[in-house]
Amino acid sequence: MQAALVQARLAGEAGDVPIGAVVLDETGAVIGTGRNVREVDADPTGHAEVVALREAAKARGEWRLSGCTLVVTLEPCTMCAGAVVLSRVDRLVFGAYDDKAGAVGSLWDVVRDRRLNHRPEVLAGVLAEDCAALLDDFFTAQRR
């Protein structure tokens, strides 16, 4: 989670919402990093999870990320939760819950939907206070 927090801080410094993500392979090595780039790249799909999953798939040379773990500072939205399922990662670890758009238990639970062909293991609330504090500080500064 510390590596994801570093990515989140970089996103915030660039003017994007401070959300960061990393993908770890079976050995625990980082094979993909991502941070929100929606503002920087003018890309509505530029969420940290999508960026990290794309980088990991490129590093592996295939879209199936079986055996991998996605670590992200904020509970994924519906788009990102769908990407988690479609990429076949084995585990999803996230920090803060997102009561407004979370799709891993808060509003929806996309990754545990039994109608889908893949359901990753989920570990929620890892360093949640640190992850939430980055977001709180960012949005407090935006309102000034």
Q: Dump pLDDT digits (tens) for 2-58.
A: 999 999 999 999 999 999 999 999 999 999 999 999 999 999 999 999 999 999 999
CB 71 within 8 A of CB 94: yes
118 in a labelled binding site: no
Two tokens at 57?
A: 């798939």
Burial class (CB in 10 A: 0-12, 13-18, 19+), 133: middle
Active-site residue flag, 49: yes
The reported pTM is: 0.96
* Beta strand residue intervals within 36-130, DSSP E: 69-74, 91-96, 121-124
Residues 6+ apart with CB under 8 A from 119: 85, 111, 112, 113
- pLDDT tens string 58-109: 999 999 999 999 999 999 999 999 999 999 999 999 999 999 999 999 999 9
77 is in an annotated binding site: yes
68 is in an annotated binding site: no
Which of the residues 26, 49, 55, 75 is marked catalytic?
A: 49
